[in-house]
Chains A and B, each alone.
Chain A
Amino acid sequence: MNITLRIWRQHDRDAAGKMVRYSVDGISPDMSFLEMLDVLNEQLTAAGGEPVAFDNDCREGICGMCSLVINGIAHGPEMLTATCQLYMRHFHDGDTIDVEPWRSPAFPILRDLIVDRSAFDRIIQSGGYISAPTGAAPDAAATLVPKEDADKSFDAATCIGCGACVAACPNGSAMLFTGAKAIHLGALPQGQIERNSRALAMVNQHDAEGFGGCTQIGECTAVCPVGIPLDVISRLNGDVLSALRKAKS
């Protein structure tokens, strides 16, 4: 396959960036999108140019590092697919593909397609933990968890923290991520002690990082590579409101 790419190039955080056109040939439909970029980078390096910087690590859809907006869609056109799991067979020979970084002032661009997502780490630090006694590991069946709660918690816990939800949201909101990270703990008995303070601390940090508010549009769920459902946001809203009621009385 022969592909034309328009890629966002930006030298560092403070530099101005622009879309630059490249063309790559000899792309196999079985290559992943990132392997196609590897081919481009080999060509650029061989020609003495600067390779395109992009984040990636596991290349198997679990680490959440890969983060490209492809033709305007975070993680590209396939549903429930991280960029690293997207294959070139979903494109056509001769296509022009636009590749950009996540765009959010809370995720400053470090170079080309790499953004700084430490705002997410700070949201987790603010409340994404539980209190556990130290000592020997507890008995496996010491705390019984209803199957339904375990499922809800696990569904939310699959979030890989990639940030596609922010990239896609017309409000630049990170509530899908924050909801997933708060709810997967709040749904379990072990997470009850901090349930109220966690909800307040995490939305407080979410706002402090400069993310926008959620207006329930749902673009985030459409691009999320692991299918985090929109209800995590509403359930976090419910926890915040009930924590506020309790804080007042």
Chain B
Amino acid sequence: MGISDGAGLRSKLRFSVTLHAAMAVSGLIMVLFLLAHMYGNLKIFEGQQAFDGYSAYLREIGEPLLPREGALWIVRVVLLFSVVIHIYAAFTLWLRSRTATAGKGGWRYETRKNRRGVQRSYASFTMRWGGVLIGLFVIYHILNLSADYIAPGGPSPSPYQRMVNDFSIWWVVLSYLIALVALGFHLRHGVWSAFASLGANSSVTRRRVLNQAASLAAVVILVGFLVPPLAIFVGWVR
């Protein structure tokens, strides 16, 4: 080992600390996107015209400086980068922690006692499989409501109509419910963990405050996304 930092830039970028920071930043970018997305979805309560108008507006932002859909594509590229970095770091770290536990994680002891550990939360040990579930959901969701390729309730050029058509079907609502609950858990631990990975957990009090903030973010996003599909399903919005 060298006496200074003992590592070139390449290996510094592969530190688990650096990978966690990359996960944190990419994750928080996705959280900002989710807040904006949720805000947009809630416009369903203003009626078809307002909702479809907002959707059209998203494609016109920045015109004529940017081409049509220009701003939207910038956001899409940033999100795609975030998703790729997030998933790359997640799998690299996942592999490392499997190596560091002989492939057995928290279940590496012979005893069957206390296998769930002493204090860890459900959210904290479902990050990886929860993340995979959310990733699969994102693909399904884009094919469904964005690309209109999977359209169980019937396709439509109107995004409002697509939502109403699909969320009248119980299993579509259920699939969104399951994914959103998984997202809620992922954010409950992820948001707190993101801030801690970036150095913000500086005291015992801070640990509590950051955890409360993460719970709040998870609940707001969960409820904010769940309300429109449920409102359609029970017939408030038609």
Q: What is A's interface to B at a CB cutoff of 8 Å?
A: 6, 8, 19, 69, 71-73, 98, 100, 103-106, 122, 125-126, 168, 170-173, 196-197, 200-201, 203-207, 210-219, 222-223, 229-231, 233-244, 247-248
Contacts and interface: CB of A to CB of B under 8 A. Distances in A.
A184 to B, nearest CB: 15
A139 to B, nearest CB: 28
A229 B196 CA distance: 13
B82 interface: no
Contact of B199 (A125, A201, A237): A237
A234 B15 CA distance: 15
A100 B11 CA distance: 35
A212 B96 contact: yes
A243 B5 contact: yes
Interface string B95-109: 011011110011011
A247 B120 contact: no
Contact of A213 (B3, B17, B198, B207): B17
B119 A207 contact: no
A238 B198 contact: yes
B232 to A, nearest CB: 36
B100 A247 contact: no
B64 interface: no
Given A170-B117, A217-B120, A234 B100 contact: no
Contacts of B44: none
A98 B100 contact: no
B127 interface: yes
Contact of A100 (B17, B97, B109): B109
A181 to B, nearest CB: 15
Contacts of B127: 215
B101 A234 contact: no
Contacts, number: 195
Interface string B122-140: 0011010000000000000
Contacts of A73: 114, 118
B120 A103 contact: no
B187 to A, nearest CB: 14
Nearest to A231: B201
Interface string B191-215: 0110011111111101100000000
A203 B17 contact: yes
Contacts of B2: 201
Interface in B1-43: 1-7, 9, 11-12, 14-21
A172 B2 CA distance: 25
Given A213-B93, A217-B125, A241 B198 contact: yes
The 9 A-B residue pairs whose C-beta atoms are closest, nearest first, are A238-B199, A213-B16, A172-B100, A234-B201, A170-B106, A212-B100, A212-B97, A72-B114, A200-B5
B110 interface: yes
Nearest to A129: B3
B214 to A, nearest CB: 10
A207 B201 CA distance: 22
Contacts of A214: 16, 20, 197
Contacts of A236: 17
A222 B124 CA distance: 15
A58 B73 CA distance: 64
Contacts of A229: 203-204, 207
Contacts of A215: 20, 93, 97, 124, 127, 193
Contacts of B202: 231, 234-235, 238
A197 B197 CA distance: 19
A218 B120 contact: yes
B76 interface: no
Contact of A237 (B93, B121, B196, B204): B196
B117 A201 contact: no
Contacts of A234: 196-197, 199-202
Contact of B101 (A205, A212, A223, A235): A212
Contact of A216 (B105, B115, B197): B197
30 contacts: A6-B111, A8-B110, A71-B111, A98-B113, A170-B105, A171-B93, A171-B105, A197-B5, A200-B5, A201-B5, A204-B6, A206-B16, A210-B99, A212-B16, A212-B99, A212-B101, A215-B193, A216-B197, A218-B119, A219-B119, A222-B119, A231-B201, A231-B202, A234-B196, A236-B17, A237-B17, A239-B199, A240-B17, A241-B18, A241-B198
B62 to A, nearest CB: 32
A71 B114 contact: yes
Contacts of B119: 218-219, 222
